[in-house]
Chain A
Amino acid sequence: MKILTCPMNGPRNITEFQYLGPFRAMPDPDDASDTDWAQYLFRAENSRGPVVEWWRHTPSNYVFLAERHLGTGDVIRTFDPSEGRPS
């Protein structure tokens, strides 16, 4: 079983978590062009490298960010969204 370290609950089995996909900066819905909005909806980071993603610890319903390497699967760090989001 893989272990994911939750910033609030500490190390837990990864089955306790829900994966919510890569972080995507949302453009302003009022100003964004249709193309930009489509990019935001349908394009996500998928490189074989470190990617920042949303995760949720299901029992405590706590949502946080994790930086994970998509090639190796290694979790580099996990942090609360208040500690800064990628641009």
Chain B
Amino acid sequence: MPLKLLKYGLARDYPVTGDIPATPDLRKSYDVVIIGGGGHGLACAFYLSKYHGITNVAILEKGYLAGGNTARNTTTIRSNYITPEGIAFYKEGVELYGEMSQELDFNVMFSQRGQLTLAHSETTMRSFHLRAEMGKHMGTRLEVVDQKQVQELCPHLNMDYGGALEILGGLWHEDGGTARHDAVAWGYAAQASRRGVEIHQRTEVESINVNGGRVQSVTTNRGEIACGQVMIACGGANYEVAMKAGVRLPIRCYPLQAMVTQPIKPWLHTLVSSVSLHTYLVQSSRGELVIGGGSDPYQSYSTRSTLDMKEHLAQGAVHMFPFLQNMRLLRQWAGTTDMTPDYSPIMGASPLDNLWLDCGWGTWGFKATPVAGKYMAQTIANGKVPDILRPFGMDRFTSFELLNEMGATAASH
């Protein structure tokens, strides 16, 4: 047995079976070209191949698979939004996470442990009541809790910071949770490529060739490809990629910073966030505390971390849990978020016939990975935007029908 194992290990034709095949040669044309190999693009390819029988699909990724905002987000999954259109959409997103591991035959480690948002003022409490009523009306689990309930849900919280930022209550969202972001992308990639979808990594789109109101072809650093339908889903690069097709998106890019501490014993059993402190915490299954939510106060494409933002996040975390003061930071990073004027995404049609948008995902994209993929696939397959996506169309910025979700997060905006 040991000899056999050694022989197997040293064999030249060691049979490796990978979940995700290596980048193949680029073909001359594809029915669907998806620009951006992150969670959203991969999910769309999966739904196209599994539910719509469209397998002649190429995903073009400038860097490596899911190395952008799919890798940089803080994995919060929730549906405690405020507009009926937003809640309906994100609610289905949360439900799809519930069945994702079975659907993909890949453990995405979905952990629905609930999210607690803290209020330090009466004003915030009033807005929580509004959000809770909207949530209940739309069928999500969302309720306002008082100080005593906050302490029961999260006994470690510092309820009274010298009276300065006393916790008055909270918004308890039992549907909230987390999942392993890499696994979500890999699961979709594995299932999509098994059905014939080609994933082209290190393939950068250099130009998008438009004629007669349609995208005719896409020129990449590996050659030109003709395309039936095209979808743009490339996170922080959406504005620049759409500009290559002459489409000017209502997007401004801001860096969003986050960090993790050294791993410790499990103690934090919910997601905790504070709107006033612009800080949120979650303990990962490895034991690290993921601390997030600092948007830089000015536009930039730089993904360098800044000391003042890290200090701000550390201050917020210590504010809520003073015993964290001696914790060490293990990693810190930033991602480029493509922010829209109303803090809602842009999905659906573009001014070009066969160009579809899955953009403007700002700081809120990860939770929508499955639901955006599902409905964008439906859009591309039928050539028609389904009703659930209609409110998110780019035309809302000319008809002034904005979908304001500004208060829906603890990130600082």
Indicate whether A and B interact: yes
CB of A62 within 8 Å of the partner chain: no
The size class of the interface chain B forms with chain A is 20 to 34
Contact indicator B240/A47 (Cβ below 8 Å): yes
Interface 1/0s, chain A 14-55, versus B by CB < 8 A? Answer: 010011011000000000001100100111101110010100
Smallest CB-CB separation from A13: which chain B residue? B308
Smallest CB-CB separation from A74: which chain B residue? B302
Q: A42-B250, A46-B239 are in contact. Are A19 and B297 (CB under 8 A)?
A: yes
Other A-B pairs beyond A38-B397, A42-B341, 6, CB < 8 Å: A15-B308, A22-B299, A34-B398, A44-B250, A71-B302, A73-B302
Report how far A32 CA is from B253 CA in the complex, Å. Answer: 27
Q: A19-B297, A19-B298, A34-B398 are in contact. Are A46 and B306 (CB under 8 A)?
A: no
Contacts of B239 in A (CB 8 A): 46-47
Minimum CB–CB distance for A87 against chain B, Å: 18
Contact indicator B240/A48 (Cβ below 8 Å): yes
Interface residues of A (CB under 8 A from B): 1-2, 15, 18-19, 21-22, 34-35, 38, 41-44, 46-48, 51, 53, 70-73
Interface residues of B (CB under 8 A from A): 239-240, 243, 248, 250-253, 297-302, 304, 306-308, 341, 397-398, 400
Contacts of B298 in A (CB 8 A): 19, 53
Interface of B, helix, strand, loop or mixed by DSSP: loop
- Partner pick for B400 among A21, A38, A71, CB 8 A cutoff: A38
Contacts of A48 in B (CB 8 A): 240, 301
Contact indicator A2/B306 (Cβ below 8 Å): yes
Most buried by B among A21, A35, A42, A44: A42
Contact indicator A73/B297 (Cβ below 8 Å): no
Contacts of A47 in B (CB 8 A): 239-240, 243
Contact indicator A70/B297 (Cβ below 8 Å): no
Contact indicator B297/A44 (Cβ below 8 Å): no
